[in-house]
Amino acid sequence: MAQSFLQENLNKMKHKIVVMSGKGGVGKSTVSVNLAYYLASQGKKVGLLDVDVHGPSVAKMTGIEGVRLIADENGRPIPIQVPTQPNLYVVTVASILESPDDPVVWRGPAKNGVIRQFLEEVCWPELDFLIVDCPPGTGDEPLSVIQTIGDVTGTVIVSTPQQVALLDVRKSLKFAGLLNLPVLGIVENMSGFVCPCCGETVDIFKTDGTLETAKDFETEVLGKIPLDPQVVNATDSGKPYVTSYAETTAGKAMAQIGQKVMDKAEEIANKEIVVAMPSENGMLNPHFGHTKYFTLFTVKQKEVIAEEELPVIEGSHAEVIAWLKNEKKVEVIIAGGMGDGAANACRSFGMKLFRGTGEGKCTSIIELYIAKSLTDRDGTCSGHGDGEGCSGGCHSGGGCCH
């Protein structure tokens, strides 16, 4: 039942955006809250999930501090609607604590458990966007969120301009790459100080480091938000800075960032994705390295718009995977058994994997993919007899890919 609730909730959420930072104190929650407020101000239904378990601040920033989660008639908790923005819904650990002073003294499994409960047991409404505010770093909470959601639209990474912060941003960018998580861009927060008297911008920290980091990882800087004392006043009083101070330099920067995120999310949703499966007579071939054919499906907006079956080229597993990626533009591979070597080769090309998929018709399996019912499991090739392994070559050598 819980699994059906999880899938039911995820199917209600059109775009899922994870906001991360490599380091604490860079204003990640401020960016998350104002991104959610901006999207809601554009008429979108927005959920804001605070998974910063040890330091939840979203409740105060949205003016719901002290408001407790309540259950519906079926006993399921419902998100808290923000009084000043009724199409913004918040779920945070702060709303299950007796006092804002109570510390959360939990280890990893407990934190992962409550994050999963927030995603599957809370009765979320239909949402255009889910914004997830993660704690800093690349530990339990962001990993749990990303693996539980599965099809995250993308991540926004928040930093400040100095090199110490950017060192950790690079780790967050590498983390996203390892999980095949699209990076929508970097937000440079505290990007200079705008003098309230003369309007001149003074760079408190170094400049250009964020842009250089973005270039190194082939992403972009979504915007630069300058320091403004009113940001502190707005967040402490639970007001949306991005709409309450829309004409300020920082307010305009936040709105620009919000618009870019919205545009990028829609672009990703409308993108055509090519999915490949090793196949034989219309059925999924459980041996990735033995297959003689691949069935390719082109998917757009939850519909299959093209299907073709192609013979596999001769070559090593790396050459076959390169052919799928570079010539056939494959971004997703669904397989039964696949060795570690082939899996690593796919990841090196930025391809998303769903291994350990049971046997069946390729047309049925692609429907499971569209319904977001597939998960990646460490699937090794099955069916070998005694003395047979998966250590041989690929296609030309007769063994499974490793």
Mind listing the domains of the chain with CATH numbers? Answer: 2-269 (3.40.50.300), 273-370 (3.30.420.130)
- The confidence band for 188, taking pLDDT boundaries of 50, 70 and 90, is very high
Report pLDDT for 3: 56
pLDDT in tens, 263-281: 999 998 888 999 999 999 9
Q: Which residue stretches of 299-376 are H helix?
A: 317-326, 340-348, 362-370
Q: Compute the average pLDDT of residues 308-337.
A: 93
Residue 201 β-bridge partners = 194
- The confidence band for 199, taking pLDDT boundaries of 50, 70 and 90, is confident
Token look-up 């052919």 returns 323
d(CA 245, CA 251): 6
**Taking all residues of the chain, what is their mean pLDDT, rounded to a whole number?**
87
Q: Do residues 19 and 155 make contact, with C-beta atoms less than 8 angstroms apart? A: yes
Instruction: Indicate the SS3 state at residue 181.
Output: coil
pLDDT in tens, 337-368: 888 888 889 988 888 889 988 889 999 999 99
Instruction: Indicate the SS3 state at residue 97.
Output: coil
Backbone Cα Rg of the chain:
23
Instruction: Flag the least confident range among 10-24, 155-169, 324-338.
Output: 155-169
d(CA 105, CA 111): 10
Which residue from 13, 235, 238 is spatially nearest to 131, judged by alpha carbons?
13
Report pLDDT for 209: 83
d(CA 337, CA 33): 42
Encoding tokens for residue 193? 């100080």
Question: 155-164: string of b/e by CB count within 10 Å (b at 16+)?
Answer: bbbbbbbbee
Q: Name which residue leads in pLDDT, 15 or 398.
A: 15
Q: Supply the pTM of this predicted model.
A: 0.79
Report pLDDT for 380: 54
Q: Name which residue leads in pLDDT, 242 or 3.
A: 242
pLDDT value at 394 more than 50: no
pLDDT in tens, 96-143: 887 788 888 878 788 889 999 999 999 999 999 999 999 988 888 999
Q: What is the DSSP string of 372-402?
A: T------PPP----TT--S-S-SSSSSS---
pLDDT value at 95 more than 70: yes
211 CB-contact burial (10 Å; exposed 0-12 / middle 13-18 / buried 19+) = middle
pLDDT value at 152 more than 80: yes
- The confidence band for 326, taking pLDDT boundaries of 50, 70 and 90, is very high
How far is C-alpha 15 from the chain's CA centre? Answer: 9
- The confidence band for 378, taking pLDDT boundaries of 50, 70 and 90, is low
Which residue from 222, 230, 221 is spatially nearest to 254, judged by alpha carbons?
222
pLDDT value at 387 more than 70: no
Report pLDDT for 196: 77
Report pLDDT for 38: 98
Residue 154 β-bridge partners = 17
pLDDT in tens, 34-87: 999 999 999 999 999 999 888 899 999 999 999 999 999 999 999 999 999 999
Percent of the chain with pLDDT over 90: 57
